[in-house]
Amino acid sequence: MNALSLRQLNKTYDGGVVALKDVDLEVTPGDFYGLLGPNGAGKTTIIGIVTSLVRPTSGQVSVFGHDIITSPWEAKSNLGLVPQEFNFNQFETVSQIVLNQAGFYGVDRATAERRAEQYLRELDLWDKRNVNSRTLSGGMKRRLMIARALIHEPRLLILDEPTAGVDIELRRSMWTFLRDLNERGTTIILTTHYLEEAETLCRNIGIIDGGEIIENTDTRSLLAKLKSQSFLLDISTPLSEMPTLDNFTVTPVDERTIEVEVRGNQTLTDLFDQLNKSGVSVTSMKNKSNRLEELFIRTLGRSKPTQEVS
C-alpha cells in the first residue's frame, strides 16, 4: 500500500488549459519525495487535487489506500498540507490556529493541547503561542503552517515550497526538523525551487513539466545520469602556467582558481594524483553548479515547452 497513489490523473481548467496529462505517481511509505518542475508545470495542481482544493477532471487519488472521493475522512486524516502561501486567519493567535485545525480533524481538546505544545516547542513558536499571527515574521509564519499541518499527526505530509523566502539559518533548521520527522516515520512530499534542498533531503525525485511526469527515480540514479561535472579548485600558489592533466579539461578562472571537468568514467582520485605530480596543491574545491540543478536544466531542455498554468 503506497502512501500516495495517483492513477491517470488529468486536469483541464475552465478555459481549456490542460494542467495535468495522465499522471501516474506512486510514493512509498517512509519516503522523502521531491516533486520538481518549473513554474506552471503542474506541481501545485497535483497538490491541490490530493488535498481536495482542486477537482480532478479524471483519475484516481488514494492516500495510504484510501480513495479521496469514496473514503475522504480516512484519506484526509492521513494527510497534512503546508501550502505555498500563508492561509491562516490573520486575526487569530498561534494557539487558536493550531487548536482549531486539530478540532477540524476531530482531535479532542486535551490531545490537541498536548500536541500543540510539542510541535510549537519543536518549531520554536511556543513563546509566541498567544501572539496574533499577523505579527509573526515570515519564517515564523512558515513554521506555524508546519505545526498546524502536523497537529493531527498525518502519516503523509506535503510541503509546497516550505522554505521559500526564509533565511539560510532557518532553512537549515527546517531541513533538520523535516529529516527528523521523516526518520520518525512520516512520509514527506516536497516541492521546492531550491534544488540543493531536494538533493540534500529527498531519496526519490520526480520531475514534472507541461503537466507530465518526465522523470521519476531515486536521487542517486538521477544524479548518475550526469555525464560530467565541473569543479572549481582553489590552489595554494599562483600558477605560472596551466598544469597538463591527461584526459581532464582544465580552464583557468583566475590566478588561484582553476576549473576542471570530470567525466562520468573518471575519478577524483586520478585528478588529485595528477595534480599532485604536477606540484599543484589544492586548498579547497566545490561543484561549479548544483548537480541536480545541472540535471534539471538538461532534463527540461529535452522536454516539451511548458504551458502557463497555475
Partner 1 sequence: MAGFYPAYPRQTLIALRTLVWKETHRYLRIWLQTLVPPAITMTLYFVIFGSLIGSRVGPMDGFSFMEFIAPGIIMMSVITNAYTNVVSSFFGAKFQRHIEELLVSPTPNYVILAGYVAGGVGRGLFTGLIVTIIATFFADLQIHSIPITISVVFLTAVLFSLGGFINGVFARKFDDIAIVPTFILTPLTYLGGVFYSLSMLPDFWARLSMANPILYMVNAFRYGILGQSDIPLATAYLLILGFITAGTFFSLWLLRHGTGLRS
Tell me the C-alpha distance between 25 and 42, whole Å. 13
Of 100, 200, 257, 307, the one binding partner 1 (CB under 8 A) is 100
With binding defined as CB under 8 A, does residue 177 bind partner 1?
no
With binding defined as CB under 8 A, does residue 307 bind partner 1?
no
Of 39, 58, 72, 247, the one binding partner 1 (CB under 8 A) is 72
Tell me the C-alpha distance between 37 and 207, whole Å. 5
With binding defined as CB under 8 A, does residue 126 bind partner 1?
no
Most distant CA pair in the chain: distance in Å? 73
With binding defined as CB under 8 A, does residue 85 bind partner 1?
yes
Of 108, 169, 254, 308, the one binding partner 1 (CB under 8 A) is 108
**In the structure grid, which three cell numbers stand for residue 164, read together?**
521559500
With binding defined as CB under 8 A, does residue 48 bind partner 1?
yes
Tell me the C-alpha distance between 103 and 95, whole Å. 12
With binding defined as CB under 8 A, does residue 105 bind partner 1?
yes
- Window of 74-82, 175-183, 200-208, 249-257 that interacts with partner 1 by CB under 8 A: 74-82
What residues does 189 pair with on adjacent strands? 33, 158
Tell me the C-alpha distance between 91 and 133, whole Å. 7
Of 2, 10, 12, 52, the one binding partner 1 (CB under 8 A) is 52
Tell me the C-alpha distance between 180 and 150, whole Å. 13
With binding defined as CB under 8 A, does residue 64 bind partner 1?
no
Quote the least distance from Cβ 92 to partner 1, whole Å. Answer: 8
Helix (H, G, I), strand (E, B) or coil at 188: strand
Of 25, 54, 136, 144, the one binding partner 1 (CB under 8 A) is 54
- Window of 29-37, 99-107, 261-269, 292-300 that interacts with partner 1 by CB under 8 A: 99-107
Query: 123 or 205: whose CB is closer to partner 1?
Result: 123
- Window of 2-10, 87-95, 198-206, 231-239 that interacts with partner 1 by CB under 8 A: 87-95
What is the rounded radius of gyration, in angstroms, for the C-alpha atoms of the chain? Answer: 23
CA atoms in the 13 A half-sphere facing the CB of 177: 22
- Window of 48-56, 57-65, 121-129, 235-243 that interacts with partner 1 by CB under 8 A: 48-56
Contact 78, 154 (CB under 8 A): yes
Query: 52 or 200: whose CB is closer to partner 1?
Result: 52
Per-residue DSSP letter, 105: T
Tell me the C-alpha distance between 119 and 125, whole Å. 8
Contact 191, 47 (CB under 8 A): yes
With binding defined as CB under 8 A, does residue 114 bind partner 1?
no
Quote the least distance from Cβ 51 to partner 1, whole Å. Answer: 5
Alpha helices in 192-246 (DSSP H): 195-201, 219-224
Contact 182, 188 (CB under 8 A): yes
Amino acid present at 95: S
Quote the least distance from Cβ 50 to partner 1, whole Å. Answer: 10
With binding defined as CB under 8 A, does residue 142 bind partner 1?
no
- Window of 35-43, 81-89, 162-170, 194-202 that interacts with partner 1 by CB under 8 A: 81-89
Closest CA to 81 of 70, 68, 69: 68
List residues near partner 1 by CB under 8 A. Answer: 13-14, 48, 51-55, 72-73, 76-77, 79, 81, 83, 85-91, 96, 100-108, 148
